[in-house]
Amino acid sequence: MKKEGSTNSEVIFFRIQQERKENWKKTCQERNISLTRLIIDSVENRIMDDERRKVLKFIEKQDNIFAKIETNVNQIAKVVNGQKFISESQLELFSTQLLEIVTLKARQNRIFENIYALLSK
């Protein structure tokens, strides 16, 4: 009788050279993943769990970088508001840098869309 919420698992046996098996196990240990995950993800052409963790760490780091940039923009705005003045050259430089930030953010978002597509496989 099948219990609700349980999954059916099958066992597959296959022959492999001992040296290759040890290499796979070493790879798994280095990547902190199971041999089963290595095989399944490889066969199904899915992103590995260790790679997924790296990607999520990268996304978090990127988010922190842009949070720092936003803080810097707010600090500049506070100084300008306090002085009630910004020179033409400073304004031009600031505008150029803001455009670069917008461009980088758009590029980052495209990268994130690709990453999310890979993660959803």
Tens-place pLDDT, residues 84-110? 878 888 888 888 888 888 888 888 888
**CB of 39 within 8 A of CB of 31?**
no
Question: Could you tell me the residue ranges of all domains in the chain?
Answer: 16-46, 49-119
Q: What is the pLDDT of residues 5-21, one digit of tens each?
A: 557 888 888 899 999 99
User: How many C-beta atoms lie closer than 10 Å to residue 3's C-beta?
Assistant: 6
- 101 close to 69: Cβ distance less than 8 angstroms: yes
